[in-house]
Copies of this chain bind each other. A is one copy, B any other.
Amino acid sequence: MSDDSILITGASGFTGQHACRHFLKTDLKVTAVVRNTCLEGLRSVQCDLTDKNAIDRLIKEEQPTYVLHLAGVNAVQTSWENPVSTLEANVLSTVYLLDAIRTTKPSTKVVMVGSALQYDPAKGKPSHPYALSKTMQSQVALHLAELYNLHVVLAKPTNLIGPGNSSGICALLTKHIVDMERNLTSEAFSVSNLQVKRDFLDVRDVVSAYEKLFVTGERTRTYDLATGRLVALQEVVRELETLTEVSHFVVDKKLGENGTVIPMDVSNIKNLGWNPTYSLRQSLEDSLEYYRNLEQA
């Protein structure tokens, strides 16, 4: 077994849980960084990432080879109500984390997880405080890495789907189907527009991309993580219809425009030899199974 270790922040989240599972299969020593929860079957440490001293201690004690920084506030609505805690959780925690690495173990390789919702400061502006926070997080990480010669690779994942508890539109749909299967509701789930197109990527594929970025990702480069294929929500619904007995589980409110397509450039990650392996159908099926296997609250 190697002496190499990986710290995974936000380990109790949707991606975090898959990341822990994935890296446990490698020869890395995995440490899950969590705020409150305890994770079964794995070494975890509690740390409030907005507490500078706590992060300094964490990095000093763990001396990680790799850090996958997934932690943060990840909700647009919350960000409107509390922009300060969103900026603290996403920007300040990143500053503290990178500074702890700079002063303690500057050779640590970091993958910073941004968001497809962040904007390009050269072109656009944020639509909400969450986008502001993720853009500032990426900017500060990029520039601290440049100024202090840190090994930081930036990732910008698209909409993630697959098994696990997520607040994404596909998870909400599959969860609703399972509620209908359980006769907990008979009402259809309202979506604003089924023509909206997104690039849906399986959460297990994104985790394999993060591993690729640790191994061959270029320092200070940003990698868009997506399949490269846009799918209308209508297509998701058609797949789901073949995976369940219930029908009429969705209603299209046909509100507003088709929405802006978020441009993703997958050439950087494809150049590293990474390719997604889960089909849309498989991801949706596994998501349905996840909710079907959950005990009712």
Would you give the 0/1 interface string for A82-96, flagging 1 where the beta carbon is closer than 8 Å to chain B? 011001100110011
Q: Give the copy number.
A: 2
**A136 to chain B: which residues have CB within 8 Å?**
136, 139-140
Which residues of A in the span 122-141 have a Cβ within 8 Å of any Cβ on B?
Answer: 122-123, 125-126, 128-129, 132, 136, 139-140
Interface centre among A84, A87, A92 (most CB of B within 10 A): A84
7 closest cross-chain pairs (CB), A and B? A121-B121, A122-B122, A84-B99, A132-B143, A126-B143, A87-B95, A84-B95
A-B residue pairs in contact (CB < 8 Å), sample of 14: A52-B84, A83-B144, A83-B147, A87-B140, A92-B92, A121-B121, A121-B122, A122-B122, A125-B143, A126-B147, A132-B140, A132-B143, A136-B139, A136-B140
Instruction: Give Cα A92–Cα B122 distance, bound, in whole angstroms.
Output: 23
The verdict on A27 contacting chain B, using a C-beta distance below 8 Å, is no
**A87 to chain B: which residues have CB within 8 Å?**
95, 140
Report A's interface with B, CB cutoff 8 A. Answer: 52, 83-84, 87-88, 91-92, 95-96, 99, 121-123, 125-126, 128-129, 132, 136, 139-140, 143-144, 146-148
Nearest CB to that of A127 among chain B residues?
B147
Nearest CB to that of A102 among chain B residues?
B83
Instruction: Give Cα A144–Cα B129 distance, bound, in whole angstroms.
Output: 7
Q: Is B140 in contact with A125, judged by CB distance below 8 angstroms?
A: no
Q: Is A125 in contact with B99, judged by CB distance below 8 angstroms?
A: no
Instruction: Give Cα A96–Cα B85 distance, bound, in whole angstroms.
Output: 10
**A121 to chain B: which residues have CB within 8 Å?**
121-122, 139
Nearest CB to that of A79 among chain B residues?
B147
**A99 to chain B: which residues have CB within 8 Å?**
83-84
